[in-house]
Structure 1
Amino acid sequence: MKTTKAVRTPGGLSVRLDPRTVVVVALLVVAVLAASVVLIGTGDFPIPAMDVLRTLAGHGNAGQEFIINDLRLPRVLVGLLVGGALGLSGALFQSISRNPLGSPDVLGLGQGATAGALVMIVIVGGSAAEVALGALVGGLVTGVAIYLLAWKRGVHGYRLVLVGIGASAFVTAVNGYLLTKADFVDAARATVWMTGSLNGRDWTQVWPLLIMFVVIAPLVAWYGRPLRMLEMGDDAAGALGVPVERTRLLLLAASVVLTAAATAAAGPVTFVALTAPQIARRLTRSPGPNLLASTALGATLLIVADLASQRAFGADQLPVGVVTGVVGGVYLLWLLVTERKAGRI
């Protein structure tokens, strides 16, 4: 039988802690930090892990400080933030929809962000910053459209998923049309962006993501208890005093912003948002949204995938989105078979 502990904070807020979840999150944090150190040392100029740690502490030579602090550390931080944002967003979507397929990948938010980026690349011919802004706007507009189309005296899980799948198909067709209208150079640039990659990321991508996380993560954590009640159904949550639609709208908005910001920073990195919450739930064996574990696992998956792509194919040869797409596609097939055998689909 699972045991949980209630901890009361100095402000009087009671927090429920599951010992297994705490251990899993701690191990994931250690794993992702270790993988990050190895990833920072990986590249055309390899740097031993101890030298990486020494340089991060401010005791490296000038060459190592330039390579690590200016070139590789921002890339790893973007990977951590993007992976964490996608993992958290996936956990929110799956809890709100009460469906393991309710992730930004399936609901079309990534495709919407891609459409915004393609408009900036193909039609406007914008800079990298303008492409990122277009992706952010595209993701937000798609999220609003899905919510409005799914609204019928409230937004319910399966209707949200079905509308999202339809929106995904529509936006994918729009993206294909935009690519056919692009010239060779713009089409090549768009294709590279659409694979999802951490190549060339610098501090200009780190700070917006970090600010977004600092604002949204505490807000989502504050609504963790109402979100857990929403998983029991709207009637039960309403009877327990949860403002159902307001809570759902706020958390959906937070998850859309997380997905759009992550896509704007690194392109559409697929399947992290789908797989991280499911694996986190299996590792913790805990009901509920598992927000912290999903965030840590999302960051771990993305960093390990980037490390694997660099070690297997060399730096800058295989974008991380290709690795996550292959792994996530296999996981999605396994999930569909499992859900079908269980009679849930």
Structure 2
Amino acid sequence: MTVGIVRIAVLAVCLVALSVLGIGIGAVFVPPEAVIAALADPSAPGSFIVVQYRLPRVVGGVLAGAALAVSGVLLQAALRNPLASPDVIGVSKGAGLGALLAIMLLPASTVAVIPIAVVVGAAVAAALLLLLARGRSGVASIALTGIAVGALCQAGMQFLLVSFPGDTNQAMIWLAGSLYGTTMPEVVLLGVWLFVCAPLVVLAGRRLDLAGLNETSMISLGTAPNRLRGEFIALAVALAAGGVAVVGGIGFIGLLAPHLAGRLVGRRAHLLLPAAALLGALLLGVADVLGRIVATPSEVPAGIVTAVVGAPYLLHLLGRETRIRA
């Protein structure tokens, strides 16, 4: 058994332990043994809180964190840019704009419309990014273009918030990025979406290492570079949109998890993808738990916690890339 596989197994054990802890933490604390008993027996004390409120929140965070992390891996490989992630390049902001349009303009049908609006918004933002970044060179150019796309989408969201001031409560909670109020139907919908995407992720993983080669080498191996990167970007947008539809505008998971996974298990795809998925789930789970602890009985949205950690790391990466090119 290789070191990488052992580390992935350790991450999986940590995720299970964090999930049990996350189910127990809240305004009413449920000890780990009571959490396990409630999951095993619906009639056990505390089972209503555990199953109806805490379990959807934790499982939704695991699925969404994994989706955002894998999306970040695919984007960094496709764009050959260590700064690429769904939020940095504006995809998450585009998804947020789509969600706000659904929330503000179609409030009576938001449950059915929001996932579709999120996917459309993310796809439009990705297409706009690729159009504006065409022909640009340099590691930071796509990130900067993505920041501009994200700012444009942010301006659209602010316009909607100002134009519909009476409907901002749900929108503000969603934009902050929070697992609060996650329901089991949303978790099931995300699970089905990721189940559909899973075979495509496996196929992408088999070719992920090729994306690191130059175009001449890729062509000599019978791979069309533009088509491969286009497939990676489309899959990354689908995964990010699924995660954002459930947890809202949580940022930096797709940036942090791939880098941490690369340090733990290396850059080979068969180890990088599962490690990044587990780390994404762990990061979002830790952010959610911390958000519930630091302001008990109130909560700090998980998106704020990830931003506190992720923003300085993004600045570190920008500085490192600048020094390398200097």
Q: TM-score, normalised by structure 1?
A: 0.86
CA distance in 2: counterparts of 1:155 and 1:267, whole angstroms: 32
The alignment-based identity, stated in percent, is 36
What is the aligned partner in structure 1 of residue 2 from structure 2?
19
Greater mean alpha carbon deviation, residues 246-255 or residues 300-309? 246-255
CA distance in 2: counterparts of 1:137 and 1:287, whole angstroms: 31
Instruction: Give the count of matched residue pairs.
Output: 324
What is the aligned partner in structure 2 of residue 46 from structure 1?
29
Aligned pairs for 1:291-330 (under 5 A) are: 291-314=273-296, 316-330=298-312
Aligned pairs for 1:24-43 (under 5 A) are: 24-43=7-26
CA distance in 1: counterparts of 2:3 and 2:213, whole angstroms: 22
Aligned pairs for 1:60-139 (under 5 A) are: 61-129=43-111, 130-139=113-122
Identify the match of residue 221 of structure 1 among 202, 206, 210.
202
Identify the match of residue 243 of structure 1 among 224, 229, 236.
224
Letter in 1 for 2:158: G
Letter in 2 for 1:48: P
Q: Decide whether aligned partners of structure 1 residues 316 and 136 sit closer, same or farther in structure 2, where only a CA change above 3 A counts.
A: farther
How far is 1:245 from its partner? 2.4
**Structure 2 residue 148 is the aligned partner of structure 1 residue 166:** yes
How far is 1:28 from its partner? 0.9
CA distance in 2: counterparts of 1:131 and 1:286, whole angstroms: 35
| Alpha carbons 1:80, 1:302 under 8 Å: kept | yes
Task: Map Cα deviations across residues 74-109 of structure 1 (whole Å, 9 max, x no partner).
Answer: 111100000000000001101111111111111111
How far is 1:65 from its partner? 2.1
Letter in 1 for 2:170: R
Q: Decide whether aligned partners of structure 1 residues 330 and 163 sit closer, same or farther in structure 2, where only a CA change above 3 A counts.
A: closer
Partner of 1:269: helix, strand, or coil?
A: coil
Letter in 2 for 1:241: G
CA distance in 2: counterparts of 1:142 and 1:155, whole angstroms: 20
Letter in 1 for 2:281: A
Q: TM-score, normalised by structure 2?
A: 0.91
CA distance in 1: counterparts of 2:238 and 2:145, whole angstroms: 19
How far is 1:174 from its partner? 1.7
Q: Decide whether aligned partners of structure 1 residues 231 and 326 sit closer, same or farther in structure 2, where only a CA change above 3 A counts.
A: same
Larger helix proportion, structure 1 or 2?
2
Q: Decide whether aligned partners of structure 1 residues 238 and 156 sit closer, same or farther in structure 2, where only a CA change above 3 A counts.
A: farther
Identify the match of residue 200 of structure 1 among 174, 181, 192.
181
Partner of 1:85: helix, strand, or coil?
A: helix
| Alpha carbons 1:85, 1:295 under 8 Å: kept | yes
**Structure 2 residue 243 is the aligned partner of structure 1 residue 262:** yes
How far is 1:110 from its partner? 0.8
| Alpha carbons 2:139, 2:321 under 8 Å: kept | no
Q: Decide whether aligned partners of structure 1 residues 72 and 155 sit closer, same or farther in structure 2, where only a CA change above 3 A counts.
A: farther
Flag structure 1 segments of 5+ consecutive residues without an equivalent: 1-17
Letter in 2 for 1:249: G
Alignment RMSD: 2.4
Letter in 2 for 1:43: G
Q: Decide whether aligned partners of structure 1 residues 157 and 234 sit closer, same or farther in structure 2, where only a CA change above 3 A counts.
A: farther
